[in-house]
Chain A
Amino acid sequence: MGNKTILLVEDNQQDELLILRALKRSNLANEIDVVRDGQQALDYLFGEGEFTGRASQELPAVVLLDIGLPRLSGLEVLARLRANPHTRFLPIVILTSSDEERDRLKSYESGANSFVRKPLDFSEFVETVARLGVYWLATNEPPQG
């Protein structure tokens, strides 16, 4: 039985609240860890810094990664994760407001598994996040059991 955690990397607290709310509606809320910037995300996944001692062998089922993040940007985080054998196959979903084609291409180029734009409309937003949660936690087969 694999890990059923979602790691949300999001610096916007309102978006965070909305995402949590959306996941809660799909009964996925207690499976979620939240970090607020890129460096924190790396520390979390590698068990370093403030996350020293965290069982870093335990990888989340999916990382929901924003692009515009403080300290390390989402794309930098993505590149670091892909460069490390430990996180090379970790499912990563870019969840962003950006509609720049370059960001999208760059994300896929850097090894993102999916690119999802945050919808403006709340209902759509809730639906999208819920679908993401269900898909990556239930439908998708993770790389390691």
Chain B
Amino acid sequence: MIKPSVRSRFILYATGSYVILALAWIFLSDQLLSLFADIDSIVWLSTAKGVFFVIATATLFYLAMRIVPPAEGSGNQQLIETLTAGSLPERLPLWLTYSFAVVVTLAMLLLHKNLPIAYADRPLLILFMLPVILSALLGGLGPGLVSTLVAALGVAFMAVSQTGNFSAVASHDLLQWGFLIVNGIAVSLLSEVSRRSIAKIEINRRLLDTVISGTPDAVFVKDAQGRYLLANAAAAGFIGKSQDEIIGKDDRALFPEKSARELMALDSAIMATGRTQTHEEQLKTLDGKDLVFLVTKGPVFDTAGQAVGLFGISREISDRKRAEDEIRQLNADLERRVAERTAELRAANLELEDIAYALAHNLRAPLRAISGFAQLLDEEHASKFDTQAENHLDQIVLASSNMGTLIDGILALLRCTRGELHREKVDISMLAKQRLDELTRREPDRSVIRQVEPDLTISGDAAMLGVVMTHLVDNAWKFTRGKPDATIRVTAGVIDGQPGICVADNGAGFDMAHAERLYQPFQRLHRQDEFPGIGIGLATARRIILRHGGELRASAVPGEGATICFYLPQTQASIGERNGQQNHSVG
């Protein structure tokens, strides 16, 4: 079932009212004309009443059109009416208003009947407008109409009871009677309309009031001079004064001077620009509280579009703000602590490296002495030793030599990442070829198939990458020893999804289960008598690559070969770069 909308009901009522009023007018005005005898007056009056009718109806038409309720939103209106049904201004009970209409009209009839007879020739029906107006004001359309009806019927009854025949009543009395009815209806209708619009305004006002007084946000309106026109309970709570104390005052009376000055400056700016804006406000209240608000402020315009005031809605976010600040503070503390720890760790690490470096370095002198004097013994006092003693001497010299190699290896490993990293374009293909040429020159008897992809370039430290390529090519060279079709390939490759460089061989390879050990200094996956070495090459290469912020990985199959790939990030940022250089003076 569809309820007729407010709009269609309005149109129906307006049209119905027009029909009744127009018919009544035609009837009554024609009666009015019949009072005149000469045809000229009748014609003139007829034109005048026509013009009057057109002007009156046109005015009413205009007014009616203005207040036609909108087609859409009527549902909303009903919803609002439903929501606020309980909060509407109380209507008097129907029985009371209707009884009042009847009683007051009857009382007027009684009064009218008992009026001095001198008035008899003028029925003074205008008197009955009083009960009609009172009834309509009190009860609206219904009681107004009832009062009109009672008055009209009462008058008619009295006329009939006096003359015995209603039609015998003088025509001007009949005219008055007719006007009474029409006026009564008009007053009742007007009264109903005004009652309804008052009720509607009341609904809106109450809705607004509920929202404004119910919200925990401060809501306020100020005039152009910054005086508060409205401030809700929440606003009063924040300010620390009652609403009555706030209304009519400006911020200077409500906030400490500094806050007030800032507030009023901002308000003027908003009224000047005419734009609504949302921002954070920090306020000190008169009782010393520091509050933070998220505030939306905007201008209030008059009908001419002039900003005549300002509205504001402020949400207190002090707690949230405090929590945010705390989190920010905690984060900053955490970051600072992490930075401190990192710096400490880095310093400790550097210190350890320095110690390792100095230690390795300082081992050289005693080592030189051991091997030197052993050799002197061997060379200059050989005649005093038997074969076994000489053998022992040889072992001392050999061990010293091995130790020397180890020391040089660890020094090279530590030294390779010291100092600043100078990034430039490095021709990897050329580095690989140079190293292969060098190895071929040293061992011309070995036949190794070389496949070096041309123009492999990468951005990094030229000296360090030279060390990397030397180690990788040397390893490939070493581990393909004894392979009949030894092949060393240097190609572009992909590692961790990044373009990089790979050095592959078909040599001895290794078991991937031990791959991690490859990167540790002095860890070896082959016996010394198979492939000699100290296990420093790959560790050094990886250290250089990591220093560049890149990554190096090895993969292999035992007996089939190994592939070592690395990439360097091709950006400026590189992790692990040291701040400043190390300074070592080791004599």
Q: Which residues does A use to contact B, with CB under 8 Å? A: 11-12, 14-15, 17-18, 21, 66-69, 73-75, 96-103, 118, 120-123, 125
Contact = CB atoms under 8 A, between A and B. Distances in A.
Most buried by A among B361, B365, B411, B585: B585
Given A75-B585, A100-B586, A120-B367, 4 more contacts: A18-B373, A97-B361, A99-B361, A102-B584
13 contacts: A15-B365, A18-B368, A18-B369, A18-B373, A68-B586, A96-B587, A99-B411, A102-B581, A120-B368, A122-B368, A122-B371, A122-B372, A122-B376
Contacts of A118: 364, 368
Interface in B536-586: 581, 583-586
6 pairs of A and B residues whose beta carbons are closest in the complex: A68-B587, A14-B369, A122-B372, A120-B404, A122-B375, A67-B587
A120 B364 contact: yes
B375 A123 contact: yes
B482 interface: no
B388 to A, nearest CB: 22
A97 B368 CA distance: 10
Contact of A14 (B372, B401, B408): B372
Given A120-B404, A122-B376, A100 B585 contact: yes
B364 A97 contact: yes
B328 interface: no
B4 interface: no
A115 to B, nearest CB: 13
Contacts, number: 74
Contacts of A99: 361, 411, 415
Interface residues of B, number: 26
Contacts of B371: 120-122
A123 B375 CA distance: 8
Contacts of B375: 122-123
Contacts of B372: 14, 18, 122, 125
B454 interface: no
Nearest to A117: B364
B497 interface: no
Given A120-B404, A120-B408, A121-B404, A98 B368 contact: no
B365 A14 contact: yes
Interface of B: 361-362, 364-369, 371-373, 375-376, 401, 404, 407-408, 411, 415, 419, 581, 583-587
B585 A68 contact: yes
A103 B585 contact: yes
B368 A14 contact: yes
A75 B419 CA distance: 21
Contacts of B584: 98, 100, 102-103
Most buried by B among A12, A14, A122: A122
Contact of B587 (A21, A74, A121): A74
Contacts of A103: 584-585
A15 B368 CA distance: 8
Given A14-B368, A125-B368, A97 B586 contact: yes
A101 to B, nearest CB: 7
Contact of A21 (B364, B376, B401): B376
Contacts of B408: 120
A17 B375 CA distance: 13
A97 B365 contact: yes
Nearest to B403: A120
Contacts of B366: 14
Given A15-B368, A18-B368, A97-B361, A67 B585 contact: yes
A101 B362 CA distance: 17
B320 to A, nearest CB: 56
Nearest to A102: B583
Contacts of A102: 581, 583-585
Contacts of B586: 67-68, 97-98, 100
B587 A69 contact: yes
A77 to B, nearest CB: 12
Nearest to B364: A97
B365 A66 contact: no
A7 B58 CA distance: 130
B378 to A, nearest CB: 10
A67 B362 CA distance: 13
A100 B362 CA distance: 13
B459 to A, nearest CB: 23
Contacts of A96: 587
A36 B178 CA distance: 144
A98 B376 contact: no
B358 to A, nearest CB: 10
A74 to B, nearest CB: 7
Nearest to A74: B587
